[in-house]
Structure formats: structure tokens, C-alpha cells
Structure 1
Amino acid sequence: MGDAFPTTGIFRRGYGKDAVDEFFIDARHAYEGGLPAEQFSAEQVRQASFPRQRNGYDTQAVDAAMSRLEAAFVQRDRADHIAVNGEGAWYEKVADRATTLYPRLLRPYGQRFSHPRSGIGYNAEQVDDLLDQIAAFFDDREDLAADDVRHTLFKAARGKKAYAMGPVDAYLGRAVEILLSVN
């Protein structure tokens, strides 16, 4: 059996092959076996991380596959929910989750997330700009795809010009989940 993804070569580090292979085997089993979301979900796909190794799998190829896998789990959950409860119930569930995002969008620029206690964080102005795009999606139905949020890179910043990374990542993860649920 060959490699599941392109490799980086011996001079560059990529994702550890064994860890990636094991994750995708588990994901396939969960998806095909129809395991409940509590056992394997889109959120687990989004939060997965892999050790780095020389001659590992190319990170961009694996990340792209992870994005497709996350979308597949969301779509499976959507289809299952609609089959049992109807489409209206699905959109109500998504709307309930989306309302948890909205209060942060109403906060003033520079105060939407906590600032890092020490070290670096994400550039607050860039994060605020992305949050404005999310607000426009909710308010005005402006176009915004999950990949637009998922692939946004923020410059590093310090102090009051930065937001702590963890809360921003968690918030954007929820936004991606909602975008995948309605698109």
C-alpha cells in the first residue's frame, strides 16, 4: 500500500504518516458505520492535530482532505437530522447555534476577545474585519464560505493590538460549523 498523501521529502517536516493514516481509518469507519456524533463528529475532525516528522505527509494536502472530511460529517448529520425531524427543525437547530455567535459581533472593535496575557496573539484588527464579514453573512446574507473563514491567516501581534488565539480559534470553529450547515 502506498502513501495516502504526497510526502514532504526527507528535508522537510510534514504530518506524521502513522497518526494521519490512523485518523482517516477511524474516520472512515465512523462515517460508514454511522457512529453517533458523540463518538466521532465534524468537531473532532476540525480539532484534530498531528505530530510533525521528516518525510511526513504534505500538510496542505492533509488539511484539504480534513476540510472535505469535516464537510462530509456535517452533511451526514444534516441529512440524518432532516430525515428524522424535517428541514425546518435542522434550520432551527443551526439558528440556535448561530445565535451564540452574535453577541460577540456586537462588541466594539478591539474588545471582541480577550487579549493575550503574555506573548503573541492574532492581530485584533484583522480578526475584527473577519468578524464583520461574518456579521454581514448573518445580517445581509453576504457570501461567505466556510473555507473563507477556515483559511484566513492573521498576522501576529502583542498586547492590546492582539486577541488571545484560543478563544478566536474556538469562535471561528463554530462559525465554520454553521457555514457548513447552511451551505
Structure 2
Amino acid sequence: MFRTVSGLRSGYDPDEVDEFFDHARLLYEQGVPGTVSGKDVRDVAFDLVRRGYVTSAVDAALDRLEAAFVARERAEFVAEHGQQAWMDRLGERARTLYGRLSRPDGDRFAPPEGRHVGYEPADVDAVCHRLVAFFDQGAPLTAAEVRSATFRRRKGADAYGQHAVDAFMGRAVEVLLGVE
């Protein structure tokens, strides 16, 4: 289904990837509401193995699959409840993000636990500034831009914990996909 990496490099386990995409395709084609969500696609993880699939190609396909499931969810919701109800729902999801966005730079997320490595706060805060501009002024921002944001690693109490940041960015992607 995807190109494999060469030599001694590692990529995603082809069996796991093929199984997931076959299952997702079947569920999408059957059109059974609520069976797989965009979040389910975003949260999937595959083992890394030698001569596996090229991770960037699989990740790009997962991004497209997530967008397709979100678009379907939106269409089904709008058909049943109307466009305004969908926008209200997205507004609620966006409001759950705003508490953190209103915190000062450097204080948006807790530090990593113990000696775990976290993210550089300035990098995360820069994405948060873009989210604030999107919500407050309608500045352009896409789910792909948030999804592809990279954060430098940082150790210590001044870093942001990875799990909280990743979960927050995932919710932001959900909201952005819902309006795209």
C-alpha cells in the first residue's frame, strides 16, 4: 500500500498499517455513523520495524483519512441538526481550548513529570498565539499547520509536558477540521 524504507531503517509495521487502513476503508464505505471518528484516526499508533512503511507517507494518508471522517461526521450532523447546531458544537469545543490559550506565555502547560523530556515553551506558545489570532481575528490557520508544528525538546521544570500539549493540539486540529 505504501513505499517501504530501505536498508536498516525503520518504518511503520506494514501488517498493522494495512490492517488499519483496510478496516477504516470498510467502515467508511459501509457508512455506519459513529464507528470511527477523526480522533480515532489521529490516535492510531503503529510499531516501528525494519523495512517498514515510510512514516511520512502513512502519516499523510492518516491526515487525509481523518479529514474524510470529520467531513462525513459534519455532513451527517448538519443533515440531522442543521448548520447552526454544528457551529455551536464547534464553538463549545473551541471554548474548551480558550482557558489554556488565555494563560501567559510559559505557563500554559504543566512541566513534564520527573525527568521526562518536554517541549520548548516558546515553540508551543507560538502555535497558541496563532490559535488565538484564528479565534479572535479570523487569521488564517489550517489543521495541517497545527498538525505539522514541531516543538524543540527541552528538559526541566521550564518545559511543557508532551502529553498535555499533544492532547491540546489534537483538540485544536479537531476544531479546525470542523470548519475547513
Normalised by the length of structure 1, the TM-score is 0.95
Match of 1:169 among 163, 166, 170: 166
Please tell me whether residue 82 in structure 1 is matched to residue 72 in structure 2: no
SS of structure 1 residue aligned to 2:157? helix
Task: Write the distance in 2 (CA, Å) between the matches of 1:29 and 1:21.
Answer: 12
Q: For 1:155-177, what per-residue CA distance to the aligned partner results, in whole angstroms no more than 9, with x for missing partners?
A: 00012331000000000000001
Task: Write the distance in 2 (CA, Å) between the matches of 1:134 and 1:160.
Answer: 25
Q: For 1:66-118, what per-residue CA distance to the aligned partner results, in whole angstroms no more than 9, with x for missing partners?
A: 00000000000000011111111111111111110001011111110000122
Mapping of residues 4-153 of structure 1, within 5 Å: 4-37=1-34, 39-117=35-113, 118-153=115-150
AA in 2 matched with 1:17: P
* Equivalent pair of 1:110/1:160 in contact (CA under 8 Å): no
Tell me by how many angstroms 1:54 deviates.
Answer: 1.0
SS of structure 1 residue aligned to 2:109? coil
AA in 2 matched with 1:144: L
AA in 2 matched with 1:40: V
Task: Write the distance in 2 (CA, Å) between the matches of 1:76 and 1:58.
Answer: 27
Identify which range, 165-174 or 85-94, moves more after superposition.
85-94
Q: Give % identity.
A: 47
Task: Write the distance in 2 (CA, Å) between the matches of 1:157 and 1:13.
Answer: 25
> Which ranges in structure 1 are unaligned for 5 or more consecutive residues?
none
AA in 1 matched with 2:105: Y
AA in 2 matched with 1:26: H
Which aligned segments of 4 or more residues in structure 1 are displaced greater than 6 angstroms? none
Task: Write the distance in 2 (CA, Å) between the matches of 1:136 and 1:160.
Answer: 28
Normalised by the length of structure 2, the TM-score is 0.97
Task: Write the distance in 2 (CA, Å) between the matches of 1:157 and 1:52.
Answer: 24
> Which ranges in structure 2 are unaligned for 5 or more consecutive residues?
none
SS of structure 1 residue aligned to 2:118? strand
Aligned residues: 179
